[in-house]
Amino acid sequence: MYQNGYGRKKTTYPFYTCVTYPDRSIITSINDMSKYICELMKGYMGNGTILSKNSYKEIFTPQLKAENFIDRDTSEFGDYNIGIIMSFGPTGNFGHFSGDPGLFSVIYFDKEKKTSKYYITNTDADGKKSGKYHGQIVKLLDEYTEKLDKLSKVEK
């Protein structure tokens, strides 16, 4: 899979493939990724069909204790704690943030609203600085989720 992305200073990176596949990258379609995210949400709510309830419980359990941290990221989308495949924010919401040069992707779960967000950008992640922008993206996605929810109720 060839990709073209951009660096922090709007510099175009050359085309490249995922040379470390399959050790850490998923090459998928939005349709299949949606199925994966839906299954994770079902598993979180105790209704998953692929893994046992205990396996889902382990996936959604923060693995580190306070003494494991020197400095915790307390921003809403920060790595406040780490699970097996998820990062946990200080709000208890969780997700997986990943990237390569010129790419960044997010799967984010909101426990209270029982919703998830998935988006991909063709720019680098830049630590705490980009966390602000990703927070803005998630807030926009929240607005559209609410609008779509209202529209679906009107159409029924």
Tokens standing for residue 49: 């069909």
CA gap 36, 43 in Å, rounded: 11
- In which domain, by residue range, is 39 found? 30-155
Domain-embedded: residue 25 = no
Domain-embedded: residue 4 = no
Determine the average pLDDT of the residues in 26-34: 82
| HEC per residue, 94-147 | EEEEEEECCEEEEEEEECCCCEEEEEEECECCCHHHHHHHHHHHHHHHHHHHHH
Paired with 16 in beta bridges are: 3
Q: Across all residues in the chain, what is the average pLDDT?
A: 76
Total count of domains within the chain: 1
Domain-embedded: residue 62 = yes
Domain-embedded: residue 39 = yes
| Sign for the pseudo-dihedral over CA of 116, 45, 98, 67 | positive
Rounded to 5°, angle at Cα 60 from 106 and 113? 65
Q: What is the DSSP letter of 87?
A: E
Domain-embedded: residue 12 = no
Q: Is the pLDDT assigned to residue 43 strictly greater than 50? A: yes
Domain-embedded: residue 42 = yes
Q: What is the pLDDT of residue 5?
A: 55
Q: How confident is the model at residue 153 (pLDDT cuts 50, 70, 90)?
A: confident
Domain-embedded: residue 38 = yes
63-101 pLDDT, tens digit per residue, is 887 777 777 766 666 667 777 778 887 777 888 877 776
Instruction: Examine residue 22 and say whether the peptide bond preceding it is cis (omega within 30 degrees of 0).
Output: yes
Domain-embedded: residue 145 = yes
